[in-house]
Amino acid sequence: MCIDLHTHSIYSDGSSTPAELIQLALTYGLKGLALTDHDTVEGVEEFMHLGARAGLTVVSGVEISTSVQQRTVHILGYGIDANDPALLRWLKPLQEGRERRNTIILEKLQHLGVNITAEEIQHISCCGQTGRPHIARLLVEKGVVDSFDAAFRQYLGRNRPAWEGRFSYSAAETIAMIHRAGGLAVLAHPGQLDPEMRVQPPLIRELALRGLDGIEAYYPTHTRRMKKKLRALAAEHHLLVTGGSDFHGETRPAHRLAGGQGDFCPPCALLDALMVRLNGRQR
């Protein structure tokens, strides 16, 4: 049996509702599932309720884009209290930053002769956080580009014509907030930072000193060599090892949920270790 500790729903940039995620996990025979939407916990309560009712081990979560060593890194928060008022206040500037960035991106696209309105984005987003993936989908639908990836390569990626940055907390601030909300902080898809794996050792060392709890070593694009190196770094710094597909549904069809088509299958032992650490923290 497999687990999947990295998924997204319609409340950020995924295409599935929490109910659909739960049903898909049951169909694939997953033992455990986490919902980790970008900068929001809006779907977590629904997800936890439906998962428990279905007899699936479910973990509350969030994914936060942060900065460290002048790099953007993503931190996953597991086991957080999604109703914590302090956490909800802390997330607000991130959400407002997304809204401001969307407005500026649309203005830049207008100057480039591409007409996309805020109403069109809201229509395909429907709820939760709206961001660049929704704009990318519209660029594909309007025939401006031929694929989701092309939208980022040509318009929306860093240093592209419609690129715009947004507010982010530091990795240290993010780890501290996740801990205050009762959760554990895990570095997401670290292999994406540097395929040669030169950046990761000093960065993980620094994050461990800041209180990082784990590393997402199992990830669809991580090679066997990457996983071996990441597991060794986790052991060196006494960190948990986790794994997830980064499932977005139709938004990014290449990333399938664990246990489905393909051989991506993070082992159940990872979830067991995570739950032991969470239970110890929450006592």
161 domain-assigned:
no
Tokens of residue 38, six digits: 């970008």
- pLDDT bucket at 255, cuts 50 / 70 / 90: confident
The yes-or-no verdict on residue 5 having pLDDT over 80 is yes
**Per-residue pLDDT tens digits for 209-236:** 999 999 999 999 999 999 999 999 999 9
- The answer to whether 1 and 268 are in contact (CB under 8 A) is yes
- pLDDT bucket at 134, cuts 50 / 70 / 90: confident
DSSP character string of 118-179: HHHHHHHH-SS---HHHHHHHHHHTTSSSSHHHHIIIIISTTSTT------EEHHHHHHHHH
Same domain for 183 and 258: yes
Which of 33, 6, 14 shows the shortest CA–CA distance to 250?
A: 14
Same domain for 80 and 185: yes
User: Which stretch of 22-26, 66-70, 261-265 has the lowest confidence by average pLDDT?
Assistant: 261-265
- The answer to whether 181 and 89 are in contact (CB under 8 A) is no
Average pLDDT of the chain is 92
CA distance linking residue 171 with residue 1, whole number of Å: 33
Same domain for 81 and 176: yes
- CATH number of the domain where residue 57 is located: 3.20.20.140
- How many structural domains does the chain have? 2
The yes-or-no verdict on residue 279 having pLDDT over 90 is no
Whole-prediction pTM: 0.90
Q: Which position has the higher pLDDT, 197 or 283?
A: 197
**CA quadruple 206, 209, 213, 217: dihedral sign:** positive
pLDDT of 188 reads 98
Same domain for 268 and 206: yes
Please report, for residues 5, 21, 28, 85, 89, the alpha-carbon distance to residue 58 in angstroms, rounded to integers and kept in the order given: 9, 11, 15, 22, 24
The yes-or-no verdict on residue 261 having pLDDT over 80 is no
Same domain for 132 and 13: no
Q: What are phi and psi of 56, to 5 degrees?
A: -100, 140
Task: Report helix, strand and coil shares of the chain as percent, to nearest 5.
Answer: 45, 15, 40
Question: Which domain covers residue 81, as residue numbers?
Answer: 3-87+172-281
Across the range 71-84, mean pLDDT stands at 96
165 domain-assigned:
no
**Per-residue pLDDT tens digits for 91-104:** 999 999 988 988 89
Q: Which of 129, 156, 183 is the last residue of a domain?
A: 156
Q: Which position has the higher pLDDT, 15 or 80?
A: 80
Which of 12, 13, 15, 27 shows the shortest CA–CA distance to 4?
A: 27
pLDDT of 260 reads 76
pLDDT of 282 reads 57
DSSP character string of 65-89: EEEETTEEEEEEEES--TT-HHHHH
Q: Which position has the higher pLDDT, 157 or 127?
A: 157
Give 186's contacts (C-beta < 8 A, 6+ positions apart).
75, 76, 77, 78, 212, 213, 214, 215, 216, 240, 242
Same domain for 80 and 106: no
CA distance linking residue 81 with residue 78, whole number of Å: 9
Give 231's contacts (C-beta < 8 A, 6+ positions apart).
217, 241
**CA quadruple 228, 263, 253, 174: dihedral sign:** negative
Same domain for 177 and 150: no
CA distance linking residue 153 with residue 150, whole number of Å: 5
pLDDT of 3 reads 97
Q: Radius of gyration of the chain from Cα atoms?
A: 18
pLDDT of 283 reads 53
User: Which stretch of 64-68, 90-94, 137-141 has the lowest confidence by average pLDDT?
Assistant: 137-141
Identity of residue 96? E
Which of 81, 276, 40 shows the shortest CA–CA distance to 181?
A: 81
**Per-residue pLDDT tens digits for 180-206:** 999 999 999 999 999 999 999 999 999
66 domain-assigned:
yes
Same domain for 192 and 70: yes
The yes-or-no verdict on residue 254 having pLDDT over 90 is no
- pLDDT bucket at 132, cuts 50 / 70 / 90: confident
